[in-house]
Amino acid sequence: MTEASILPLAAVLVSAVAMCLIIASYRYPNVREGWSVVAALTKFGIVASMLPGVMEGTTYYWSLSESLGVEFLAGIDFVLRADPLGMLFAMLASFLWIFTSFYAAGYMRGLDEHAQTRFFAAFAASLSTAIGIAFSGNLVTIFIFYELLSLVTYPLVAHNEDNEARIAGRKYLTYTFFGGGVFLLAGTVLVYWLTSSADPAGNAHLAFESGGIEMLAEAAAADPAIAQAAFYLLIAGFGVKAAVMPLHSWLADAMVAPTPVSGLLHAVAVVKSGAFGVARVILEVFGPGLIHDLPLNVPAIGEVGLNVPVAILAAFTLTAASIIAMRKDHLKRRLAFSTTAQLSYIVLGLSMLHPYAILGALFHIPAHAFGKLTLFFCAGAVHVETHTDYVSEMAGIGKRMPLTMSAFAIGAAGMAGMPLIAGFVSKFYMLIGSGSVGGGYWIFAAALILSGILNIAYLWPVVYTAFFESEDRHDAKPVLEFPPGGKRESYFADDEYATDGGEKPDSGHPQPAGDDDESESKGAGTPTELDDDEYEYAVDKYPSDHTASDDDHTDDGHDDTHNDAHDDHDDHHHGGPPASGWARHTPFSESTWLILVPISIIATGAVTLGVVPDYAVFLDLATYIVEGVFGVESFDELRGRSLAEALEVINE
Amino acid sequence: MSNLAELLPALLIAAPILLATVPIVLGLRFDRTGWSVAAITTTALFAATAYLAAAVYETGRVVHVLGGWGEPQGIGIELVADEFSVLIALLVTVTAAAVLAYTRTGGPRGNTFYTGYLLLVGGLLGLSMTGDVFNMFVFLEIVGLATYAMIASGDGPESAVAALKYLILGTLGASMYLIGVGFLFMATGALNMDVLGEAIPQIADNGGSDLTLLRAAFAFIFVGFALKVAQWPLHSWQPDAYQHAPDGVTPVIAALVSTVSAYALGRIMYNVFGPEFLTATPYLTEIVVTVGAVSVLAGSTLAVIQRDVKRMFAYSSVSQFGLIVVAYGLVTQTAFVGAVIHLIGHGVIKAGLFIGAGVVAVGYGARTVDEYAGLASNRPFAAGSIALLLIALIGIPPSAGFIGKWYIAVGAVEAELWPIAIVIFLSTMLTLAYSARLLEKMYFTPATGVDSPHPAGVATDGGRAGAVSIGMLGILIVTAIVAIGLGFAGGAFFEWLEPFTSEVFN
Amino acid sequence: MIDAAVDVLTTRYAYALMFVVMGIGMYMMIANENLVKKLIGVNLFQTAIFLFFVAVAYVEGGDAPIVPADPNPGELAMASPLPHVIVLTAIVVGIALTAVGLALLVRIYAEYGTLREDTLREVRADE
């Protein structure tokens, strides 16, 4: 059942209007941030008001040609449509925006940032386009919002207006427009051409259809090569924002942006729009059936489904990104690589095509969002309060920021997929999914489990160093700072910390147990320890990560202080504990309420999703989407089926 | 069809050319009448063109045969207003009227300038309406003459050199076209486009030496227009001409002169030679498409390395017209519509960008990319409008640039010319390369303390120092909004051109 | 082959000559450093085209296309009048062009004091 309604358009336009109001009230910071909050609440209200209807099977839509009589392009309408998949993303983004808008106000004021009006305006615009992506009813509409999203987030990335930010901005524009303007547009045009030449009446079919566009399936049968090209172009287009390797390297650089941006946009709205786009392509453009049946001829292996290369790439990304994350000392960069890995969970889950895997992947969208937003908020809070950005300087920070670091621990556990936190539920479903498919898919299950372990390896040390170490006596970070194979001493011999002139940490001290755990969990088999010179290592193994930024660097030519990830203690760095060590604070005095309240709420949300997923709306929505894709009344019908059986259900 | 509508095509051309003398005559007695005369004339022309467009919409093609030499067909010179030409005529009149809002305070001044302006408008309207290939040559030259004069009206000595360079190459281009017309005449004995359009398929069927003549004719005409449209490697006049022309003149020239020439090329290719001839002649489409594609690549690459903003926009025109020529060479209905839309869209966008460059030069004293640093905080409206126009130029939807690119891309895929499709898709990135450079300078680079080498307010044409009038800024903002607004007209354009394209392609 | 060439030269010598003149004009336009001579090259180029049109119009044994006094002249062989009209128009256009070009030259000479392109290039490079 579909119903014409202005609501989807209103949900998109709320923050666009807010953007204008924000710019107009640039003289009055309170009013300006007020608009942000009002818009966030209104937007969430509008989106939530459609939820009951959507859950009962109503799809609300707004079409440009029906309401205003304007045809956007010949044969293509501009449609906004609130369907279950769109609702999942829209609910998530609009809900989290509420808290982010408080947090952003606290963050920007706490740091006394410049150009705050531009920041808040671009932020509102980003949300507008993110909701637009969620509610897009066809490929062209989603393309429009996808491009606009790239555009309006550019000011946020380049916000700092220094050389590093400009370079990151350039990289960001290049990657995202290559994804959107080239790959996505090319894929869309191919689908347009395929469907219009297959349709006897010559009409193009670009509107999303649950389970795949039928006309496209017909066209693909006639011209499989073009259909395959279209599939990979679309996946590559969305894959750029979903940071699937080798298209991921913009994400870590984009971390120069202020933390609310890294949090909501580069962990939720922007990158999820990529993952969401992949979901649209797999579930509602091509459909699992077509993707599985359209044979791709691989030399020496034979015919495989179109999904397999995507899944392999995603599995590689999530493993590799986790390994890279371990070697990042800059906390936000470590989180960025964690995001890269976690996004690939979603892509992997979707590309396995099994109903359980898809369910897990879809639920991972909100699950990861809550967890990662918590983590970024914490990183931002630490930055605002102590200007500390590097993990190696966070020893003992737990007493300075107890609440923040506790929330961080929760988020970290969620990332690792610990039970009772959101991440567990989604990974559990994905594991079931990959197990049920059988065949060679065990390797994906193995990647999922391995990556879970790696997640612990790179996030637990942060928690550990915050709570269980002190400023003057803390473990060295073997993976970060030691040559391969480690050193005999475990205390970090650094004059900086021996402020009392007393004992210098030396090899005489016994190895603390924690360090052993750490080096074991990281050590075994991870190639990071094989190479001392991390710079060269990165160039060898993950070329896109580092050569690109170096090139930019030399091109620019007049600033040699470019802050690379590995360049730990660069010269505009002023973090770390004060000379007298961290002051002890209570959870109520560690920061302003504008920052603490959002952190607590999001962390609570992450736990709620993990403890009672059935009561939080997202799992319901995800189930509902999968039911729609496979065309079944209830998810129970899919229970216990193998992939082949599940795909047969679609064909019925 | 009303009598007025039938008369309008002739009036549209005759009126501005005759009225062009008025500023000079009145100038004997009054100092500043040129602007008023031009404003009234262009506004009236716009109203008349709109009326004509309405008539075309209702009844289809409006044909005016000059002097009543209607019979036998093809003897008299015809002026044709159909969906295609009216669209271009609308662009011409709207832009001509709009740019006057800039020149009132932005200069250049003087009655003779407005004489040239009206002459140019008349020539452009003639070029868009004419239905006769030789008549087209005459209008091509009228446009050329007016353009050379206007470029040379800049204060600096450079402008005269640039104008002379343009004059020599422009004349060469027009002469090439004339040779082509000669060959056409030898082969068919006709000059009327309709008559030619009917005769050429027969000759193509019969083959023989007449066919060779036709092919030679096409070659000369294409080279001639490639010069006029500034396709690589014949583009070298354009950057100089655009850079050294007065700021008030560049918008008109950039938006209209090359655009109408490109329109004329499309008219000749599709109305005279026809799609069948284009596809049947070996290597013809390949060459056209290659010239266009190379222009796209070369133009954008050269644009990236320019320091002067106006020069950068000039090279950008080379690449954008490359896209249009590519679309012509694809010979599909969709690509053709895309070419027409891109003609209009690019015209509007480039007019806006050059107006923006003028506003910034007068008000902020910045002429090079580096000097644009910090523009956003100092001149937020100008910077915002330029940013919007650049975004439209890149082709981020919804904007005029996007819809044109969409149709051209669909056309390339329909034609299954994959390398060309790749160039078209990559053109986004190439455009981004130079647009982002300017965007970054304006928004994310703080203004440097170094004084600008061009002190603010010294317009090359002696406009009032440092004064950016409301009209100048207003027209810039309006153009930016129009460039975005046109992004929703993709379906409307297609529908409007439908009668024309379906006749040509069937 | 040679016969054909000779044939062309004997029957179509006007065209061949025209292209030779055109080539000379174009060469002057491109290669000559003197701006005035460049303009002369342009004129030569155009004149060659005019000659070409006149040659096209020629009908063997035809008279000038003037309406005869006799109302019923019977069979008449006349050159085609249309190209002549075209050439007349084109000559007018060409004169206008030359005028504008010369005006520009006067201005360039006033500004730079030279009409040679190489000197001009040096002068401009110095600025």
User: Taking the domains of chain A in order of start, what are their residue ranges?
Assistant: 2-466+590-651, 472-541
Q: Which of A70, A161, A181 sits opposite B491 (nearest CB)?
A: A70
B144 touching C (Cβ < 8 Å) = yes
CA B493 to each of CA A201, B58, B506: distance values in angstroms, whole numbers, following the listed order: 21, 16, 19
First-to-final CA distance of chain A: 21
With beta carbons under 8 A apart, name residues in chain A contacting B434.
none
Q: Which of B152, B167, B179 sits opposite C49 (nearest CB)?
A: B179
Determine the residue of chain B that is closest to C111 in CA distance: B157
Q: Which of B167, B168, B182 sits opposite C52 (nearest CB)?
A: B182
Distance of residue A149 Cα from the nearest chain B Cα, in angstroms: 10
| Mean local confidence (pLDDT), C92-118 | 89
CA A483 to each of CA A478, A488, A567, A569, C5: distance values in angstroms, whole numbers, following the listed order: 8, 11, 16, 18, 84
Determine the residue of chain A that is closest to B494 in CA distance: A74
Question: pLDDT at position A553, please?
Answer: 40
Q: How far is Cα of residue B215 from the mean position of the Cα atoms in its chain? A: 26
For chain B, the chains sharing at least 3 beta-carbon pairs closer than 8 angstroms are A, C
Q: Please, do chains A and C touch (3+ CB pairs < 8 Å)?
A: no
Q: State percent of chain A over pLDDT 90.
A: 2
Please answer yes or no on whether B428 and A165 come within 8 Å at the CB atom: no
Highest mean pLDDT among A204-208, A264-268, C3-7: A204-208
Distance of residue A186 Cα from the nearest chain B Cα, in angstroms: 7
Q: Which of B138, B167, B185 sits opposite C100 (nearest CB)?
A: B167
A24 touching B (Cβ < 8 Å) = no
The band of A549, judged by pLDDT with boundaries at 50, 70 and 90, is: very low
The amino acid present at A275, given as its one-letter code, is: A
Please answer yes or no on whether C39 and B168 come within 8 Å at the CB atom: yes
**Pairwise pLDDT comparison (B357 vs A508), residue with the higher score:** B357
Q: How many CA atoms lie within 13 A of A152 on its CB side?
A: 27
* Segment 45-104 of chain B within 8 Å of chain A by CB: none
Q: Which residues pair with A330 in a beta bridge?
A: A390
Determine the residue of chain B that is closest to A165 in CA distance: B444
Name the one residue in this structure whose structure tokens are 């229970």. Answer: A639
Determine the residue of chain C that is closest to B182 in CA distance: C53
The radius of gyration of chain A's CA atoms, rounded to the nearest angstrom, is 24
C40 touching B (Cβ < 8 Å) = no
- B48 near B102, Cβ under 8 Å? no
- Structural element, H or E, at residue A185: helix A185-198
C56 touching B (Cβ < 8 Å) = yes
- DSSP for residue A75: T
- Structural element, H or E, at residue A62: strand A59-63
A71 touching B (Cβ < 8 Å) = yes
* Segment 123-162 of chain A within 8 Å of chain B by CB: 143-144, 147-148, 151, 155, 158, 161
C interface mutation test: which of B133, B147, B150, B168 has the most C CBs within 10 A?
A: B168
Question: pLDDT at position B290, please?
Answer: 92
B160 touching C (Cβ < 8 Å) = yes
Distance of residue C49 Cα from the nearest chain B Cα, in angstroms: 7
Query: What span, in angstroms and rounded, lies between the C-alpha atoms of A64 and A8?
Result: 12
pLDDT for C59 beyond 60: yes
Q: How many CA atoms lie within 13 A of A257 on its CB side?
A: 31
Please answer yes or no on whether B178 and C111 come within 8 Å at the CB atom: no
Please answer yes or no on whether B168 and C46 come within 8 Å at the CB atom: no
Q: Report the range of poorest mean pLDDT among A55-59, A522-526, B229-233.
A: A522-526
Question: pLDDT at position A478, please?
Answer: 57
Please answer yes or no on whether B414 and A143 come within 8 Å at the CB atom: no
Distance of residue C69 Cα from the nearest chain B Cα, in angstroms: 23
Please answer yes or no on whether A193 and B413 come within 8 Å at the CB atom: yes
Please answer yes or no on whether B158 and C124 come within 8 Å at the CB atom: yes
- A590 near A403, Cβ under 8 Å? yes
pLDDT for A441 beyond 90: no
The band of A645, judged by pLDDT with boundaries at 50, 70 and 90, is: confident
Question: pLDDT at position A479, please?
Answer: 59
Query: What span, in angstroms and rounded, lies between the C-alpha atoms of A29 and A20?
Result: 14
Closest CA to B425 of A188, A355, C28: A188
Q: Which of B396, B403, B445 sits opposite A151 (nearest CB)?
A: B396
Please answer yes or no on whether B167 and C104 come within 8 Å at the CB atom: yes
Counting Cβ atoms within 10 Å, is residue A1 exposed (0-12), middle (13-18) or buried (19+)?
A: exposed
Distance of residue C28 Cα from the nearest chain B Cα, in angstroms: 11
Closest CA to A415 of A328, A352, A308, A321: A321
For chain A, the chains sharing at least 3 beta-carbon pairs closer than 8 angstroms are B
CA B490 to each of CA A70, A184, A565, B96, B406: distance values in angstroms, whole numbers, following the listed order: 9, 19, 45, 24, 9
Average pLDDT, chain C: 84
Closest CA to B298 of B319, B278, B323, B271: B319
Distance of residue B25 Cα from the nearest chain A Cα, in angstroms: 48
B152 touching C (Cβ < 8 Å) = yes
Question: pLDDT at position A613, please?
Answer: 77
Please answer yes or no on whether B138 and C93 come within 8 Å at the CB atom: yes
Q: pTM for this one?
A: 0.86
C interface mutation test: which of B172, B181, B210 has the most C CBs within 10 A?
A: B172
Distance of residue C56 Cα from the nearest chain B Cα, in angstroms: 7
* Segment 186-225 of chain B within 8 Å of chain C by CB: 186, 191
**What's C2-61+79-126's CATH class?**
mainly alpha
C46 touching B (Cβ < 8 Å) = yes
With beta carbons under 8 A apart, name residues in chain A contacting B436.
170, 173
| Ranges of each domain in chain C | 2-61+79-126
Please answer yes or no on whether C97 and B167 come within 8 Å at the CB atom: yes
pLDDT for A95 beyond 60: yes
With beta carbons under 8 A apart, name residues in chain C contacting B141.
93, 96-97
- For B238-264, b/e burial (b = at least 16 CB within 10 A) is bbbbbbbbbbbbbbbbbbbbbbbbbbb
Please answer yes or no on whether B440 and A158 come within 8 Å at the CB atom: yes
Distance of residue B168 Cα from the nearest chain C Cα, in angstroms: 7
Give A530-537's long-range contacts (Cβ < 8 A, gap of 24+).
Answer: A530/A484, A531/A484, A532/A483, A532/A484, A534/A327, A534/A566, A535/A566
* Segment 222-261 of chain B within 8 Å of chain C by CB: none
Q: State percent of chain A over pLDDT 70.
A: 82
Question: pLDDT at position C95, please?
Answer: 92
- Structural element, H or E, at residue A22: helix A7-24
For chain C, the chains sharing at least 3 beta-carbon pairs closer than 8 angstroms are B
Question: pLDDT at position B143, please?
Answer: 93
Q: Report the complex ipTM.
A: 0.90
Residue B208 backbone class (left: φ over 0; alpha: ψ -120 to 50; beta: rest): left
Taking chain B (506 residues) in runs of 10, the rounded mean pLDDT of each run is: 78 89 83 84 91 88 81 78 91 91 80 88 92 91 91 83 90 92 88 88 84 90 92 87 88 90 92 89 90 92 90 92 92 91 93 91 85 83 90 89 91 89 89 89 76 45 59 89 89 87 85
- For A116-150, b/e burial (b = at least 16 CB within 10 A) is bbbbbbbbbbbbbbbbbbbbbbbbbbbbbbbbbbb
Distance of residue A379 Cα from the nearest chain B Cα, in angstroms: 25
B418 touching A (Cβ < 8 Å) = no
